[in-house]
Amino acid sequence: MTTEVKPSPRERLLEAAATLTYRDGVGVGVEALCKAAGVSKRSMYQLFESKDELLAASLKERASTYVATLLPAADDGRSPRQRILHVFEQVESQARAPEFRGCRYLAVQIELKDQSHPASRVARRVKADLTAFFRGEAARGGAGDPGLLARQLSLVFDGASARAGIQADDLTGVVAPIVITLLDTAGVR
């Protein structure tokens, strides 16, 4: 007989924050978060200094999973070009899910506007890491200006993710040709 371990109040709050803010935005109230987590407001404030800190912790906790779903394994043996294309294939695949709302890290930055907000700082770091991945692969692939290519790829990534997230566009057959053109122009192998 196995006993199921019930998630702690902290884990339930982190999950509620991730789910509700992704679905409804960062404006979701403390009451809704606590109700979804089955935790009192008092308990929430004992665990987290503020709703802002809860949101930041939730984003930070999910960052490694987010990166793992997007980026190829470090030692996968593929060319830099293939590794960059892999990221866009993942976004295209994720965008097909009915619950897809775009990149949660971009959404947080857009909604909050305040770059000093704890959640915005977490989101900015995650997005900077993605751009750094693009820059590293671009350099390994022989791009003439890896920094510029990384910025261009980040722009395509964010634009594609945002448009698919609001169901304004189907990414199938749209994103890969853009990325391939950028890679060809930059000379990435």
Q: Does 134 reside within a domain?
A: yes
Exposure pattern of 27-38 as b/e (b: 16+ CB <10 Å)?
ebeeeebbebbe
* H helix runs in 39-145, sequence order: 41-47, 51-70, 80-95, 104-112, 118-140
14, part of any domain: no
Q: Which two tokens stand for residue 70?
A: 């997007």
Q: What is the domain count for the chain?
A: 1
Residue-range definition of the domain harbouring residue 107: 52-186
Residue 99 domain flag: yes
* Residue 27 within a domain: no
Is pTM beyond 0.75 here?
yes
Q: Tell me, yes or no, whether 46 lies in a domain.
A: no
Nearest-angstrom CA–CA distance, 71 and 83: 8
In a domain, 28, yes or no: no
Q: Does 45 reside within a domain?
A: no
Instruction: Specify if 135 maps to a domain.
Output: yes
What is the structure's pLDDT at 2? 62
Mean pLDDT taken over the chain: 95
Task: For residue 117, give the CATH number of its domain.
Answer: 1.10.357.10
Q: In this predicted model, what pLDDT tens digit does every residue of 62-104 receive, in sequence order? A: 999 999 999 999 889 999 999 999 999 999 999 999 999 999 9
